[in-house]
Structure 1
Amino acid sequence: MTMEIAFFGRDWWNHAHAVAAALRERGAVHHAIVPWGEQEIPVWVIARYSEARDALSDPRLSKDGAGLIKILNKHLTVDGKEPELSAMFTARHMVFLDPPDHTRLRRVLAKHFTRGRIDRLKPRIEKMTAKLVDDLALGRPEDLISGMAFPLPLYVICELIGVPEEKRGALRAWTYALMEDLPDRAKAASLNMQTYLIELINTAHANPGDDLLSALVQETADEDRLSMEELLGTLFLLFVAGHETTTALIGNSLAGLLTDNGYLWREVGQRPELLPGVIKEFSRYDSAVATATHRYTTEPVTIGGTTIPAGEIVLVSLLSANRDERQFGHADQIDIFRKEPNLAFGHGIHHCLGVHLAFQETEIALGTLTRRFPAARMAVDKAELVRRQPAIIPNSLADLLVILGSAAVVDDADELTASPGRP
């Protein structure tokens, strides 16, 4: 296949791994152009594992939102009119903060967003998953993105922070619009979501429950009490960033299990103890986050022999780094018994705080589907799967059409005794 070799070029979204592999061979760092609505911005992309890992914890690569907005405005201002950025960039949340502000916000959220709180959600996640599965049709193509991978994480976050069921449909529509990376739709959706989140915060103040938001608004320690701006930013981050990552992880894992005639799908259905290794491997093999969120250089920084000037936006390609042959043996093959760590959820002080929740949701979704529908198969060829675009950060399937069945058909009974996922 002949393609234009470029990050975010015309072949990127549906051939990202092939493009990234070619660029890794050329070097660790590449200059690229990112589409931004009808405009474009220049960025630097880090493609190899070692350099990516170092960059994720390099303090010279700042995540300060105010500084980032200045750079974006420089590139996107037209005729003196600055762009209207979505709340992902303008809200005050820990993704776009440096220490000490980042340290404080992360500590406060981590204090209440605990493994114990997440584990207590498990029975509710199982019930929500079962309800979604019950609504799936048998014997005809069913989209497991809209039917499972998208709604489940959103409903779980709603459960976590205390959103009543009657508002979850509206949040689903606003969240989906924010994920499309279309500036006009994203702006309207972020305004609608902000209005509702303020209402939700005020309700939690007046009538607190046992949810995460109520715990945050009832914080009594002066240094841990969040302002309205900080509460809004934290909720926005939970809805958008946390939801998108888990949607992609579930969707990409389901697609991976169904390849090779569904061998791994059937294996996992019979051996659920394999699920942790399966999820970890698919988080590497087809990273839910294609690029880590934006950073910028506060001074000239040399990475992999390339010097990036000060004031430049840097994107770390987790999708590329996690397929780097310098780090992973047989990097383009699935091995559910791999021991090497990967960068699927970042590294350093910005490592994803919601990893445990994302893995728990994915394990329940995959386990339920593989047990209920052992004969499931893709309704289209793997080559026909389409990535949602033009999103830069998430690596999500637009849809995943699957024909669900209840009776497995296995040509060779001995097949299920083999070691799955080995090259």
Structure 2
Amino acid sequence: MLTQEVKRHPHAFFARLRQQKPLFFVDNFFGTGAWIATDYADVTAILKDPRFIKDLQKTTEMKGNQEISGETAARLKKFAWRRDMLTTDPPDHTRLRHLVSKVFTPRMIEQLRSRIQQITDELLDAVKDQGHMDLVADFAFPLPITVISEMLGIPVADRQQFRTWTQALINMEESKNDEAYGGAMEAFIAYIKNLLAEKRLHPGEDLVSGLIQAEESGDKLNETELISMIFLLIVAGHETTVNLIGNGMLALFEYPEQMNLLRNDPSLLPSAVEELLRYTSPVTLSSPRLASEDILIHDQLIHKGEMVFVVLVSANSDPQQFTDPELLDITRQENQHVAFGKGIHFCLGAPLARLEGQVAFGALLQRFPDLRMNCEPEQLRWTPTFSLRSLNSLPVAF
């Protein structure tokens, strides 16, 4: 799953897995045994099943008398410290999600359209005269990090540092270099603590100030929850959208007739973004879940305490759900993809990612009618991480 070939062409690899065994057990995955689900029906069922829980602090309790190895404990420690929407179950999850959900409604996000368009235009103005750019570094990254930073009230000067930290954390998520991972995480958390201290002294109209005020209004948002929530919003608020824009443009380069269709008919932008989410799956693998009891799926018994991952990119290319899933079709109508997940953990930022994608692709195609790749496809490199499908760079000319 980490090879350049699978990152480049995931559909063929996961088609073989689905045919061989759509739900299978791996002895050593993230330092522990884990189930991997690859077909659409199983993936959606697991994502919506409340018996699969997200709170990894319950691992020891779920395992009962089974011994947890030192390596597994070290791996779990990387995830289990967090107490945010992605790592908790009801009722904590319900309370945490409620605190920020009103900011991410489609109506509230639509009010950001003019600002997102302005940021987009400024980024493209900055490169238009040079005739080329790295689409990832010069556009796909700065657009969403600027938007989420403004929502959170984070100073402009600090934003590039987030890219360094999040890339280090994502790249080392599966690494055994725990010291380097810990260093990046400690620096990130220290920054958030300083940010909280500053916002307590000088609150504003931003989301961080709002979360602090919620905490102080008796909403029981403790310090760990506050730090975890801001960490999640920073990372999820930009990293996945970077991949949507980068991977999406690469897909359009590979399907020039689709790119021309979209350029000539901007009304297709909403359906195009949905198809690019399905086809490129910016998030490859879900975060882990635990079976809270013995659960039978098909003829496979998932024991209480065992870890389960679902492969979103595989579910999104399952021919049992999608007609000709290996083809990009921006006019596709039946498109119940799982790029944002399903169930109670459905991505809160989905309206924001959709809007950023629509503005970004629309502006790129209209501003640069001769937009093209500025390297050979085989020169592109993908980040070797399980969770995301991320291009290191995408050189383009126009």
Pairwise same-fold verdict (TM > 0.5): yes
SS of alignment partner, residue 96 of structure 1: coil
The residue identity in structure 2 corresponding to 1:25 is Q
Q: Is this contact kept in 1: 2:62–2:292, CA < 8 A?
A: no
Return the letter of the residue paired with 2:302. Answer: I
- Determine whether 1:61 maps to 2:52: yes
- RMSD, matched Cα: 2.7
Counterpart among 136, 145, 158 of residue 145 in structure 1: 136
Contact 1:153 1:243 in 2 (8 A): yes
Instruction: Tell me the TM-score normalized by structure 2.
Output: 0.89
2:150 maps to amino acid: E
Match of 1:104? 95
Q: Does 1:24 align with 2:18?
A: yes
1:74 offset after TM fit, Å?
A: 6.3
Question: Which of 247, 255, 274 is the aligned partner of 2:268?
Answer: 274
Partner Cα distance (1:10, 1:148) in 2: 23
Q: With CA pairs under 8 Å and 6+ residues apart, which has the higher RCO, 1 or 2?
A: 2
Change in 2 beyond 3 A, CA 1:159/1:264: same
Are the structure 2 counterparts of residues 71 and 125 from structure 1 closer, same or farther at C-alpha, using a change threshold of 3 Å?
Answer: farther
> CA–CA distance in 2 between the matches of 1:346 and 1:53?
8
> Which residues of structure 2 form unaligned runs of 5+?
none
Find out whether 1:367 has 2:359 as its counterpart: no
Q: Pick one of 339, 342, 346 that aligns with 1:347.
A: 342
Task: State the shift of 1:96 in Å.
Answer: 0.9
1:226 to 196, 206, 221: 221
For 1:237, the equivalent position in structure 2 comes to 232
Quick check: which one's helix share is greater? 2
Q: TM-score, normalised by structure 1?
A: 0.84
Q: Distance in 1 between matches of 2:13 and 2:285?
A: 14
Alignment partner of 2:168: what SS?
A: helix
CA distance in 2, matches of 1:162, 1:171: 14
Note if contact 2:215-2:222 (Cα within 8 Å) is conserved in structure 1. Answer: no
Given candidates 39, 43, 61, the residue that maps to 1:48 is 39
Q: Is the 8 A contact 2:48 2:343 kept in 1?
A: yes
Length, aligned pairs only: 391
Matched, 1:291 2:285: yes
Q: Percent same amino acid at aligned positions? A: 35
> For 1:177 and 1:98, how far apart are their aligned partners in 2?
27
Distance 1:84 1:283, change over 3 A: closer
CA distance 1:42–1:85, change in 2 (3 Å): closer
Look up the SS of the partner of 1:180 in the other structure.
Answer: helix
What amino acid does structure 2 have at the position aligned with 1:400?
L
Q: Secondary structure of the equivalent of 1:42?
A: strand
Give the distance between the partners of 1:135 and 1:70, measured in 2 at CA. Answer: 54
Q: Partner amino acid for 1:354?
A: G
**Residue 320 (1) aligns with residue 320 (2):** no
Deviation at 1:304, TM superposition (A): 3.1
Q: 1:158 aligns with which of 137, 149, 157?
A: 149
Amino acid at match of 1:317: V
Q: CA deviation at 1:105?
A: 0.7
**Cα distance in 1 for residues equivalent to 2:139 and 2:18:** 34
| 1:408 counterpart residue number | none
Query: What CA distance in whole angstroms lies between the structure 1 residues aligned with 2:61 and 2:378?
Result: 40
1:177 counterpart SS class: helix
Q: Which residue type is aligned with residue 361 of structure 1?
A: E
Distance 1:34 1:152 in 2: 37
Does the aligned pair in 2 maintain the 1:8–1:33 contact within 8 Å?
no
Q: Deviations over 1:71-91 (max 9, x none)?
A: 99966615xx95276765412
CA distance in 2, matches of 1:11, 1:33: 23
SS at match of 2:238: helix
In the TM superposition, what whole-angstrom CA distance separates every residue of 1:41-80 from its partner, at most 9, and x where no partner exists? 33211011011111001122111130248899966615xx
Deviation at 1:170, TM superposition (A): 2.2
Deviation at 1:141, TM superposition (A): 5.6
